Homo-oligomer: A and B are copies of this chain.
Amino acid sequence: MKNFADDLARKIAELNNPTVMGLDPRLEYIPEDIRQKWIKDLAPDTELAAACAIYEFNTALIDAVCDIVPAIKPQFAYYEMYGVAGIDTLKKTIAYAKNKGMLVIADAKRNDIGSTATAYAEGIIGETELDDGSRKHMFNADAVTVNGYLGIDGIKPFLDVCARDGKGIFTLVHTSNPSAVDFQDMVLEDGRKVYELMADCVNEWGKELIGEEGFSSVGAVLGATVPEQAVAARKRMPNTFMLVPGYGAQGAGPDAAVASFTKDGKGAIVNASRSLMCAWKKREDLAPSDFARATRDEALDMKAKLNAALKDRKYV
Q: Interface residues, chain A, CB within 8 Å of chain B?
A: 24, 26-27, 35-36, 38-39, 43-44, 46-47, 49-50, 53, 75, 77-78, 80-84, 86-88, 91, 109-117, 119-120, 122-124, 128-132, 134, 136, 138-139, 147-154, 172, 175-184, 186-189, 191, 194, 197-198, 201, 245, 250
A177 touches B149 (CB 8 A): no
Which residues on B sit within 8 Å (CB–CB) of A188? 186-189
B83-A150 in contact (CB<8A): no
Q: Is the CB of A183 within 8 A of B149?
A: yes
Q: Nearest 7 A-B pairs (CB), nearest first?
A: A151-B179, A81-B123, A77-B119, A46-B130, A153-B177, A83-B138, A113-B177
The answer to whether A180 and B151 touch (CB under 8 A), given A123-B77, A128-B81, is: yes
Pairwise interchain contact A77-B110, C-beta atoms closer than 8 A = yes
* Copies of this protein chain in the complex: 2
Min CB distance, A185 to chain B, in Å? Answer: 10
Residues of B within 8 A of A91 (CB): 83-84
Query: Given that A50-B130, A84-B91, A131-B36 are known contacts, is A150 also in contact with B183, CB under 8 Å in the complex?
Result: yes
* Residues of B contacting A116 in the complex (Cβ-Cβ under 8 angstroms): 24, 75, 77-78
Could you show 20 A-B contacts with beta carbons less than 8 Å apart? A24-B119, A27-B130, A39-B131, A44-B132, A46-B132, A47-B128, A77-B110, A77-B120, A81-B128, A87-B87, A147-B147, A150-B172, A150-B179, A151-B177, A151-B181, A153-B178, A153-B180, A186-B194, A186-B197, A187-B188
Question: A128 — which chain B residues lie within 8 A by C-beta?
Answer: 47, 50, 81-83
Q: A77-B119, A82-B138 are in contact. List 20 more A-B contacts (CB 8 A).
A: A24-B116, A27-B129, A35-B131, A46-B132, A50-B128, A75-B116, A75-B119, A77-B112, A77-B117, A81-B128, A84-B84, A109-B110, A113-B177, A148-B183, A149-B183, A151-B181, A153-B177, A153-B180, A154-B177, A194-B194
CA gap between A120 and B79 in the complex, in Å: 9
**CA–CA, A2 and B187, complex, Å:** 39
Least Cβ–Cβ distance between A33 and chain B, in angstroms = 12
A201 to nearest B CB, angstroms? 7
Chain B residue contacts of A194, Cβ below 8 A: 186, 194
Report how far A26 CA is from B220 CA in the complex, Å.
Answer: 30
- A47 CB contacts on chain B under 8 angstroms: 128, 130, 136, 138
Residues of B within 8 A of A179 (CB): 150-154
**Distance in angstroms between the alpha carbons of A201 and B183 in the assembled complex:** 9
| Alpha-carbon gap, A141 to B43, bound state (A) | 25
